[in-house]
Structure 1
């Protein structure tokens, strides 16, 4: 059990129930990056045209070697715009709204990545191509998963703060100071 003095006060208040700290945001970014890569590789491994489970695992490993650094760059490039979107939504309490917005943003980011890759290689976009489908699906799923994980972790932290009222206000008590 951690010392009550080590617990950070929650940034969430009655006026801004979905506010977040920089650390909470960075946890969500990292969780989204991990989720993207796991979903992307799983999609490649289980793609019917991968040549079977062993070939799928080999392709998945090779794709991960390329995907992890490339998606890391994409994550770094889009983190700030996603943070701005999150900050503008901090007054909106609805979890389903946040999940939908993060899924939409993930789809847009995935589409932009596909467009850049298509331009880079001077090829058209075949929507049935495993790369296109896996990138779109993974990006669409990864952002809400990363957000949900960071949100749940922040809520657990808020619950810990509410057990130690001397630390500061929390969402659990309506954001009122103790």
Structure 2
């Protein structure tokens, strides 16, 4: 692949991280990131819902034994439904993450990437809240509305975390693919010193 192809922003399977583009990514990396973020969302959602439901149940007058089965059933159904919808939205998430990644491929700082993907996750969460609020008639914030906010929290956390896990794994794969080149403690290659 020529440098010109990289400069245009082409996303190819054979793209590699270079000194000029230390955070370049391949199409496979992009899809891994989308699926990793989805898996994190699907894992975080029941945790967030569970915490919300425990808080809600504590204030309830219904006996805990009656509510436990309802709690588990509702947790399963809501998580399954949301995870399936989110899986269908992964291609859209990949399309949103692609320009962010392309814009930042020359930036080595992981903190900058984490902030950018946290902002992306927050933007997606805000769009979700706008739609959820419009369809549910959300006007005031109470215990019932907390459940509508839960997926927004999960996506806002899963997005930067998904990027971080995917980027870390890509750099580790790079380190394993060039075993004869010495590496620093953060995985970057150390250029050999010329004897001259």
TM score, norm. by length of structure 1:
0.80
Post-superposition CA distance 1:60-111 (Å, at most 9, x none)? 1011121012212333223212111111110111111111111111011011
Following the alignment from structure 2 to structure 1, what is the Cα–Cα distance between the partners of residues 88 and 127? 13
- Bigger Rg over Cα: 2
Q: How many residues are paired up?
A: 163
1:76-155 to structure 2, matched below 5 A, reads: 76-124=91-139, 126=141, 129-155=145-171
1:43–1:134: 8 Å Cα contact kept in structure 2? yes
1:9-28 to structure 2, matched below 5 A, reads: 11-28=16-33
What RMSD over aligned residues (CA atoms) do the two structures have, in Å? 2.5
2:132–2:148: 8 Å Cα contact kept in structure 1? no
**Greater RCO (CA < 8 Å, at least 6 residues apart):** 1
Q: Which deviates the most, 41-50 or 69-78?
A: 69-78
Q: Which residue of 2 aligns with 1:46?
A: 51
Deviation at 1:57, TM superposition (A): 2.6
Which residue of the other structure, out of 158, 164, 173, is the alignment partner of 2:174?
A: 158
2:14–2:26: 8 Å Cα contact kept in structure 1? no
2:30–2:94: 8 Å Cα contact kept in structure 1? no
> Could you list the runs of 5+ residues in structure 1 that have no partner in the other structure?
1-7
